[in-house]
């Protein structure tokens, strides 16, 4: 359904006189968002939130998108995000105390918001007792599947917020079929209340960079001529140590480039690197400007993502759009993100990973096939399609 059809659907709602709540419906839908991360985080959920809202604002410019946050960080991508005409930052009117949990409802009502979308596992308490429709996105329930990765108090807080939001929201968006099944199993939610809407990645990954730009990026970060790439927080669940263990059996012409924030787990990784004598074959990059990241993907020979568990796996989408053969781990949802022509290995088998990497590096025709079919598969996550599905969801809950 094209944007104009969605606009017609919204206008038609205005004529539904039998429902008093909809009789004064404005064709310009006001949608509010929990914008704490959109207004403050430069990676992860911050990028996800901004990309989602920005895509909606461009594809459906007739609506207003109100982003509610207790504070805002000044940064290039955040400043540019709020410069767009139909995206508006909303700060607390009467202080921040309990604002995101409860007092935000006064602001939402004052702003005549029709739908509030909690972009990460939570919505305001008691929103179900207002006329405001609510949507919550659940990215994963890893804190229940792998509680050992979380502090006790954090795990309990995440569970309380997400379980409560799932019970109270009008609609739940799961970012993968795997996450949907987790919600059904662990929270006993009616499957009909849950809609799977996949994530896309930033459009900058969808256009090849020029050779000049790529060479500039390569020299700027002193990147190797041939490298395997891994992107993601350096934490135990992401399983970087498996790549380190596999690297000792991988063609020595190739180095490993790792981009991600370090956690305490990095100490384990360092010890493994030292033990295997691989220090000269691994490059760690941090604080990479988002604008350069697609270029670093595009120059990689293989992208490797052996995470034990994910809700979806946006780095895989970024790699496939970048035309990079991809290897991921079995056991969660990564097959959903990577498709049939990516390769999947056990997250506990370094030999299998090394064999798979070498197989790709040694076979030009396999590389070509994985690039072409991967790019074909990843179109199902393209922004216009995903954005349309989300707008359809909004329309359905107010109709």
Residue 379 tokens, joined: 């179109």
> Based on the number of CB atoms within 10 Å of its own CB, is 71 exposed (0-12), middle (13-18) or buried (19 or more)?
exposed
Q: CA 323, 329, 332, 335 torsion: positive or negative?
A: positive
Query: Cβ distance 313 to 328 under 8 Å?
Result: yes
Smallest CA-to-CA distance from 309 within 152, 179, 174 is with 179
Query: Cβ distance 244 to 272 under 8 Å?
Result: yes
What is the distance between the alpha carbons of residues 339 and 70, in angstroms, rounded to a whole number? 39
SS3 113: coil
End-to-end CA, the chain = 17
Residue 289 tokens, joined: 């400007």
Query: Cβ distance 104 to 124 under 8 Å?
Result: yes
**DSSP class of 210:** P
The structure tokens 């590096």 sit at 361
Q: What angle (nearest 5°) sits at the alpha carbon of residue 14, between those of residues 113 and 83?
A: 40
Query: Cβ distance 326 to 348 under 8 Å?
Result: no
Sequence-separated (6 or more) residues with CB below 8 Å from residue 57: 63, 65, 84, 86, 87
Smallest CA-to-CA distance from 333 within 227, 199, 217, 160 is with 199
The structure tokens 């993502």 sit at 305
Q: What tens-digit pLDDT sequence spans the chain (399 residues)?
A: 434 334 443 333 333 333 333 333 445 899 999 999 999 988 778 888 998 999 999 999 999 999 999 999 998 889 999 999 999 999 998 888 889 899 999 999 999 999 999 999 999 999 999 999 999 999 999 999 999 989 999 999 999 999 999 999 999 999 999 999 999 999 999 999 999 999 888 889 999 999 999 999 999 999 999 999 999 999 999 999 999 999 999 999 999 999 999 999 999 999 999 999 999 999 999 889 889 999 999 999 999 999 999 989 999 999 999 999 999 999 989 999 999 999 999 999 999 999 999 999 999 999 999 999 999 999 999 999 999 999 999 999 998
What domains are there in the chain, each with its CATH number?
A: 3-200+382-398 (3.40.50.2000), 206-379 (3.40.50.2000)
């Amino acid at each position: 359904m094209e944007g104009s059809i969605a606009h017609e659907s919204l206008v038609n709602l205005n004529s539904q006189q039998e429902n008093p709540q909809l009789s004064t419906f404005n064709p310009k839908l006001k949608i509010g968002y929990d914008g704490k991360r959109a207004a403050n985080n430069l990676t992860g959920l911050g990028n996800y939130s901004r990309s989602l809202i920005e895509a909606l604002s461009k594809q459906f410019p007739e609506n207003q998108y109100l982003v509610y946050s207790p504070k805002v960080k000044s940064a290039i991508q955040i400043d540019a995000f709020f410069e767009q005409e139909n995206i508006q930052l909303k700060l607390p009117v009467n202080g921040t105390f309990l604002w995101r949990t409860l007092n935000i409802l006064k602001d939402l009502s004052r702003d005549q918001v029709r739908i509030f979308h909690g972009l990460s596992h939570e919505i305001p308490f008691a929103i179900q007792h207002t006329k405001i429709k609510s949507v919550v996105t659940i990215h994963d329930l890893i804190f229940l599947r792998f509680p050992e990765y979380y502090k006790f108090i954090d795990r309990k807080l995440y569970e309380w917020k997400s379980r409560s939001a799932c019970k109270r929201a009008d609609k739940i968006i799961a970012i993968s079929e795997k996450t949907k099944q987790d919600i059904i199993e662990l929270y006993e939610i009616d499957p009909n209340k849950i809609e799977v809407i996949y994530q896309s990645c930033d459009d900058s990954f969808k256009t090849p960079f020029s050779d000049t730009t790529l060479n500039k990026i390569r020299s700027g970060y002193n990147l190797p001529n041939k490298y395997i790439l891994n992107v993601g927080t350096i934490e135990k669940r992401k399983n970087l140590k498996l790549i380190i263990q596999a690297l000792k059996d991988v063609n020595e012409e190739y180095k490993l480039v790792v981009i991600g924030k370090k956690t305490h787990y990095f100490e384990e990784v360092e010890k493994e690197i030292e033990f295997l004598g691989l220090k000269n074959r691994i490059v760690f990059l941090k604080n990479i400007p988002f604008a350069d990241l697609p270029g670093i993907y595009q120059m990689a020979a293989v992208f490797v993502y052996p995470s034990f568990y994910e809700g979806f796996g946006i780095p895989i989408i970024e790699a496939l759009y970048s035309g990079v053969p991809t290897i991921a781990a079995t056991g969660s949802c990564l097959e959903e993100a990577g498709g049939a022509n990516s390769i999947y290995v056990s997250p506990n088998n370094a030999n299998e990973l090394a064999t798979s990497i070498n197989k790709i590096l040694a076979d030009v025709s396999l590389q070509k096939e994985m690039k072409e079919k991967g790019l074909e598969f990843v179109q199902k996550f393209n922004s216009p399609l995903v954005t349309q599905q989300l707008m359809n969801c909004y329309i359905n809950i107010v109709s």
